Amino acid sequence: MGLKENLHKLKKKYEGKKMAPAFNALHTFLYLPNETTHSGAHIRAADDLKRTMNTVILALVPCLLFGMFNAGYQHYAAIDQSLRAAPWANFFTMDNFLMGCFTILPLVIVSYGVGLAVEFLFAVIKGHEVEEGYLVTGMLVPLIVPVDIPLWMLTVAIIFGVVIGKEVFGGTGMNILNPALTIRAFLFFAYPTWMSGDKVWVHGAVERSKEIAGGANLDAISGETILGSYAQNQEVMYSLQDMFFGFIPGSVGETSKLLIIIGALFLIFTKVGSWRIILSTLVGALVMGLVFNGVISAGWIEESSKFYGLMNVPFWQHLIIGSILFGAVYMATDPVSASQTNKGKWIYGFLIGFISIMIRVFNPAYPEGVFLAILLMNVFAPTIDHYVLQGNIKRRQKRLKVKTA
């Protein structure tokens, strides 16, 4: 007798009991549910929630693997700056990958372990089935935090994000905020020194370099991000090629714009991600970047201004620095918390991109605003859809009056 038959037998023993949701979650993770509906409308389709979540995870895996190489590369490059002279030759090495695995895998394990434990707890208490919504959130969280974030902080943030960001609203499909971004926001506001600065992006590099130098204070060792350098009107040491391919410090999943674009195409091709939201978010960011470039061209801001550095960034370059592209593809397109109408998606995405660059420029202390912009628009998404629908109703009523007149 195979595993499937044994699980079906065990399932009957758990029916009606308190732990039934937990067992059913394990059963449906391995096999399709052995149930069919008996009434109501039926739609034959190859996709369901689990397949949709798995599709997004597949699109994220390349970013995760690249992030592991990058974590190791940034670590060793901070110790030996000569490695940055030939990134292609020094990037895809086993030492970099092992260092990245050592750093990032604990984040992934804690993310899934703690998040799913909270999901199982609520399923058992409420008596409903365990939902697959956290599968994507669990993968996103390690990709949007610094590699050196303490695991206990991540644990506290995940519990907060899952409970406050999703479960209090009724679980998957009912939340108004993106749970992964809720976790990110909690970390930023509760532990700001661990989420920004010039040392949080390079795992152990500063301490390791001091050990090698016999305890000397090496001021040249830094993990400053590109946005941080622009915000302080400093010279950026990375080329456009480094920015596009991802050989730069940053959150685990945000650095390689090439892989994010490939992931976007995959999500659009599978019809899981909304191309309207992705495109409108990028357009909104470009428009805001053009506005700031126009301000600089008009001479309204002096070079000594604290806003000059990021205002002077070419408008198109905003898309290859920071998290705007990652947020547009994997965060803004969340089908639960985003706008649902086609016109609403255009408005929703445009405002995310527009506000993201505005926060990026006007907040030099933390020059990255995409997660705040997405959370803000999560709140306004139902309002946008409401007015879009009301506008459609009014137009139809006018057409009806014309026909009946």
Determine the average pLDDT of the residues in 157-179.
Answer: 84
Structure tokens at 374: 């997405």
Structure tokens at 236: 């950026």
**Closest by Cα among 375, 348, 339 to 359:** 375
At 255, give phi and psi (nearest 5°). Answer: -75, -45
Determine the average pLDDT of the residues in 109-115.
Answer: 94
**What distance lies between CA 246 and its chain's CA centroid?**
16
Q: Are 201 and 225 in contact (CB under 8 A)?
A: yes
* pLDDT of 94 strictly over 90: yes
Burial zone of 93 (CB within 10 Å; 0-12 exposed, 13-18 middle, 19+ buried): middle
In this predicted model, what pLDDT tens digit does every residue of 344-396 receive, in sequence order? 999 999 999 999 999 988 876 666 789 899 999 999 999 999 999 999 999 88
Number of residues assigned to the chain: 405
3-state secondary structure of 57: helix
- Residue 338 CA to residue 363 CA, distance in Å, equals 25
Structure tokens at 181: 């971004």
Q: Which residue has the higher pLDDT, 59 or 47?
A: 59
- Residue 146 CA to residue 58 CA, distance in Å, equals 22
Going by the DSSP 8-state scheme, the letter that residue 194 receives in this structure is G
3-state secondary structure of 127: coil
Q: Which residue has the higher pLDDT, 292 or 299?
A: 292
User: Has this prediction a pTM greater than 0.75?
Assistant: yes
How much is the pLDDT for 251? 86
The percent of the chain in helix, strand and coil, each rounded to the nearest 5, is 65, 0, 35
Determine the average pLDDT of the residues in 304-310.
Answer: 83
- Residue 73 CA to residue 87 CA, distance in Å, equals 9
Residue with tokens 């126009």: 294
- Residue 235 CA to residue 246 CA, distance in Å, equals 18
Percent of the chain whose pLDDT exceeds 70: 78
How much is the pLDDT for 204? 47
* pLDDT of 4 strictly over 80: no
In this predicted model, what pLDDT tens digit does every residue of 170-222 receive, in sequence order? 777 778 889 999 999 899 888 887 776 555 555 444 444 444 444 444 433 44
- Residue 31 CA to residue 45 CA, distance in Å, equals 17
Q: Are 179 and 134 in contact (CB under 8 A)?
A: yes
How much is the pLDDT for 21? 57
Residues 6 or more apart whose Cβ sits within 8 Å of residue 202: 74, 75, 78, 147, 148, 223, 249
How much is the pLDDT for 119? 84
- Residue 380 CA to residue 290 CA, distance in Å, equals 25
Q: How many CB atoms lie within 10 A of CB 252?
A: 25
In this predicted model, what pLDDT tens digit does every residue of 14-55 receive, in sequence order? 565 555 555 555 555 555 555 555 565 555 655 666 678 889
Residue 298 is which amino acid?
Answer: A
- Cα–Cα distances in angstroms (integers) from residue 360 to residues 141, 278, 392, in the given order: 21, 19, 35
CA neighbours closer than 13 Å in the CB half-sphere of residue 154 = 24
Structure tokens at 275: 């191309």
- Cα–Cα distances in angstroms (integers) from residue 318 to residues 4, 138, 311, 369, in the given order: 51, 27, 10, 12
Q: How many CB atoms lie within 10 A of CB 246?
A: 24
**Closest by Cα among 80, 76, 112 to 97:** 76
